[in-house]
Amino acid sequence: MTNTHALARPLIDNFGRHVEYLRISVTDRCDFRCTYCMAENMSFLPKSQVLSLEEIEQLARAFVDRGVKKLRLTGGEPLVRRDIMTLIERLGAFLGDGLEELTLTTNGSQLRRYAPELVRHGVKRINVSLDTRDAAKFAAITRWGRLSQVLDGIDAALEAGLHVKINMVALKGENDHEIIPMMEWAHQKGMDLTLIETMPMGAVDIERADQYLPLSKVRENLAKRFTLSDDPLKTGGPARYLRVEETGGRLGLITPLTHNFCETCNRVRMTATGDLYLCLGQDHKVSLRDPLREEGIEAIDKLLDHAMDIKPKGHDFEIDRQKPQVNVSRHMSVTGG
Ligand code: SAM
Ligand code: SF4
């Protein structure tokens, strides 16, 4: 199909970076309460402030018209939003018409129900977050989650033909000893594994410095047992990839704290209320919801130009016991990671 849209003015920021990737948080709500992500007692947004599915679709179209090629739905938990499959079907219709990839990040709890439908609407790969395969520990980390449901969801995704990448937040003293077994399990099932450093976002009930595990250390330890080589895969994202010779699989490392990845950043993030955040670790944003509601979709183009003008060079995440624990006041569930 010819692409009549992406030839319009592309989104390029003041540092010459092309924005081609939009992450959309479709809800701030979640059926889990992971300790590093949310406080147990979270208050959520009233419905009137949240973009409707139609508004999300309109805005997504505006981004695709400006050259965005990849959309990732996230949250909160994207698959707990009511009628989410209607949105996924509509966004799936953009594939081949400017959009090259539609994907999502999920906690996996609803995959048994939705995996085949995701495939029908053109989703080919998904990220599933899983920090442990120990049922008791899983319950402790997620507070409300059930491991068996998530493992079954992952199987359902694989059965449906989805390519699955497991995301694991490395938590010192909690799941560090599970990194190797998790990698072997994932690779044996044909899934990639990406490790993530915990980021100081939003007030939570735990001490972040206690949980912070630098991935540089993890890599050193892995190199004692496995043959690791740099994998050239570049997603324009923050992960660097390694090939693990013994398992034949791929390991990603997302290291915002030990290695800054901002110079190749190609993404922006829209919250469920239509705030467009230009950097995960900074507060620069442009609000799209009210202009859309008051002036219509025509108002959005110039706001996207303004967004490119204010996209910051990079984040300043830092975890240091002597300094404030929260670098960014919003929780990860607002922008979805
Ligand atoms: N609910 C979905 C899920 O868990 O995959 C999507 C949203 S969740 C906010 C996206 C990712 O952010 C998950 O992989 C989660 O582990 C990660 N995350 C949440 N809070 C984090 C933090 N403070 N530091 C690092 N990663 C975090
Ligand atoms: Fe929910 Fe995902 Fe945050 Fe866990 S990490 S509380 S699953 S949004």
- Does the structure show a pLDDT above 50 at 325? no
Tell whether ligand 1 has an atom less than 6 A from the beta carbon of residue 37: yes
Distance (Å) from CA 330 to ligand 1 centroid: 13
Residue 295: other Cβ atoms inside 10 A: 11
Q: Cα separation of 176 and 228, whole Å?
A: 18
Q: Average of pLDDT values for 138-154? A: 97
Q: What share of the chain has pLDDT > 70, as a percent?
A: 85
* DSSP run (H or E) holding 85: helix 84-92
Question: In this structure, is residue 16 part of a structural domain?
Answer: no
- 269-283, pLDDT tens digit by residue? 999 999 999 988 788
Domain assignment present for residue 6? The answer is: no
For residue 124, what are the domain limits?
Answer: 21-335
Residue 12 lies in a domain: no
Is 74 close to ligand 1, i.e. is its CB under 6 Å away? yes
Identify any residues that bridge with 236 across adjacent strands, giving them in sequence order: none
The pLDDT > 90 percentage for the chain reads 71
Q: Which residue has the tokens 């995701």?
A: 118
Distance between CA 239 and CA 101 in Å, rounded? 18
Pick the residue whose CA is nearest to atom 1 on ligand 1: 77
**pLDDT tens per residue, range 178-200:** 999 999 999 999 999 999 988 76
Please give the average per-residue pLDDT across 119-147, as a whole number.
97
Which residue from 25, 28, 129 has its CB within 8 A of the most atoms of ligand 2, so it is best to mutate?
A: 129
- 8, part of any domain: no
Domain count, the chain: 1
CB contact burial 182-200 (16+ within 10 A = b; e otherwise): bbbbbbeeebbbbbbbbbb
Q: Give yes or no for residue 3 having a pLDDT over 60.
A: no
DSSP 136-150: HHHHHHHSS--HHHH
13 in a domain, yes or no? no
Asked whether residue 26 is domain-assigned, the answer is yes
* More confident call, 197 vs 46: 46
Q: What DSSP line would sit under 110-130, residue for residue?
A: THHHHHHHHHHTT--EEEEE-
- Which atom of ligand 2 has the smallest separation from the CA of 30? 1
CA pair distance 277, 331, nearest whole angstrom: 13
Residue 121 resides in a domain:
yes
Residue to probe by mutation, ligand 1, list 104, 132, 169, most atoms within 8 Å of CB: 169
Of all protein residues, the one whose alpha carbon is nearest to atom 14 of ligand 1 is 129
Between residues 133 and 237, the one the model is more confident about: 133
CA of 216 to the centre of ligand 1 (A): 20
The pTM assigned to this predicted structure is 0.92
pLDDT given for residue 235 in this prediction: 64
Give the number of the atom of ligand 1 that is nearest the alpha carbon of residue 199: 24
Q: What CATH number corresponds to the domain at position 323? A: 3.20.20.70
Q: Among 16-20, 30-34, 290-294, 315-319, which stretch is predicted with the lowest mean pLDDT?
A: 315-319
Which protein residue has the closest C-alpha to ligand 1 atom 8? Answer: 336
